[in-house]
């Protein structure tokens, strides 16, 4: 399958709004999580694009703040989570549903990924994953609403996608996430090498995302809670034995919440 063409629009301090280009007509795009309309309108005008639809992963303002303004005069479909109280009218989706833009040749399957918010969803299609604030490169979203158990299950769903899946997350957090990943697994050579690579990219002003699922399984401590190295680090941090990978996840998620590098 041909790789999707996706471009990044920066918003706020570290958000990415993804523009997915139609494989039939590269001028037509679907925006993912447009938290701010302004940079999207600028990009559309600058490149002569045509905004044809919107996908929303969860209700936080930095992901939905631009939806109303972008959709107002365009009459475009807006898909979003059924269970996340998104403040703008959306076509509600839950796991098993499909967000289809037939005229554009784009279809995405929906996964429920509760944890960051309870209604958070992710979109999977064309070899790509749009996962909002659930999975980041080398990290995962904070548990604002869900339990460690829910987030562990959500991340496991994402981690079961094929190795080559392109991972489009909602924020540029990779370097600070890797600092934490290396605190958990100081001897993870892949994380060491990836940090070097990401620093070089950021120095050039480039995004570190998309990542791939292969890479995430190798460097992301939150996908590695069943590994001895991660379990031992979590047990040392907690000062007690941990019984299973959900307990390991809970300890490292809390550790990360207070981690300053």
Residue 257 to residues 59, 141, 236, Cα–Cα distance (Å): 21, 10, 17
133 near Zn ion, rule: CB under 5 A = yes
Q: Which stretch binds Fe ion (CB under 5 A): 110-118, 156-164, 169-177, 219-227?
A: 169-177
- How deeply is 215 buried, as exposed, middle or buried, from its count of CB atoms within 10 A (0-12, 13-18, 19+)? middle
| 3-class state of residue 78 by DSSP | strand
Active site includes 21? no
126 near Zn ion, rule: CB under 5 A = no
Find, among 254, 33, 256, the residue nearest to 147 by Cα.
254
Q: Which of positions 210-239 make contact with Zn ion (CB under 5 A)?
A: none
Q: Is the peptide bond before 210 cis (omega within 30 degrees of 0)?
A: yes
Of all helices (H) and strands (E), which one includes residue 132? strand 128-132
**Could you say which of 21, 36, 112, 116 is catalytic?**
116
Active site includes 133? yes
Active site includes 63? yes
**Contact mark string toward Fe ion, 123..152, x via CB under 5 A:** ----------x-------------------
Active site includes 116? yes
Of all helices (H) and strands (E), which one includes residue 159? helix 148-159
Residue whose token pair is 């559309």: 44
Q: How far is the CB of 15 from Zn ion (least distance, A)?
A: 9
Cβ atoms of 214 and 131 within 8 Å: the answer is: no
Find, among 17, 97, 119, the residue nearest to 65 by Cα.
17
Nearer to Fe ion, 104 or 209 (CB): 209
Nearer to Fe ion, 53 or 170 (CB): 170
**Could you say which of 58, 120, 126, 245 is catalytic?**
58
**Could you say which of 21, 33, 63, 120 is catalytic?**
63
Nearer to Zn ion, 28 or 60 (CB): 60
Contact residues for Fe ion (CB under 5 A)?
A: 62, 133, 170
Q: Which residues are known to be catalytic? A: 58, 60, 62-63, 116, 133, 171
Contact residues for Zn ion (CB under 5 A)?
A: 60, 133
């Amino acid at each position: 399958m041909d790789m999707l063409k996706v471009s990044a629009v920066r918003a706020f301090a570290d958000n990415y709004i993804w523009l997915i280009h139609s494989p039939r007509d590269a001028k037509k795009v679907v925006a993912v999580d447009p938290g701010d309309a302004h940079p999207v309108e600028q990009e559309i005008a600058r490149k002569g694009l045509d905004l044809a639809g919107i996908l929303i992963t969860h209700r936080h303002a930095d992901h939905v703040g631009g939806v109303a303004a972008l959709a107002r005069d365009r009459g475009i479909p807006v898909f979003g989570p059924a269970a996340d109280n998104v403040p703008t009218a959306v076509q509600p989706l839950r796991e098993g549903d499909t967000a289809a833009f037939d005229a554009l040749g784009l279809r995405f399957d929906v996964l429920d990924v509760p944890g960051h918010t309870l209604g958070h969803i992710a979109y999977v299609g064309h070899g790509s994953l749009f996962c909002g604030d659930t999975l980041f490169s080398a990290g995962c979203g904070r548990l604002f609403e869900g339990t460690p158990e829910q987030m562990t299950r959500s991340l496991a769903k994402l981690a079961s996608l094929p190795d080559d899946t392109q991972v489009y997350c909602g924020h540029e957090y990779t370097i600070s996430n890797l600092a934490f990943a290396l605190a958990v697994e100081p001897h993870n050579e892949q994380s060491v090498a990836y940090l070097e690579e990401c620093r070089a990219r950021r120095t050039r002003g480039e995004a570190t995302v998309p990542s791939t699922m292969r890479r995430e399984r190798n460097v992301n401590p939150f996908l590695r809670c069943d590994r001895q190295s991660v379990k031992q680090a979590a047990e040392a941090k907690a000062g007690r034995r941990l019984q299973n990978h959900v307990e390991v996840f809970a300890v490292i998620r809390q550790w990360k919440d207070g981690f300053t590098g």
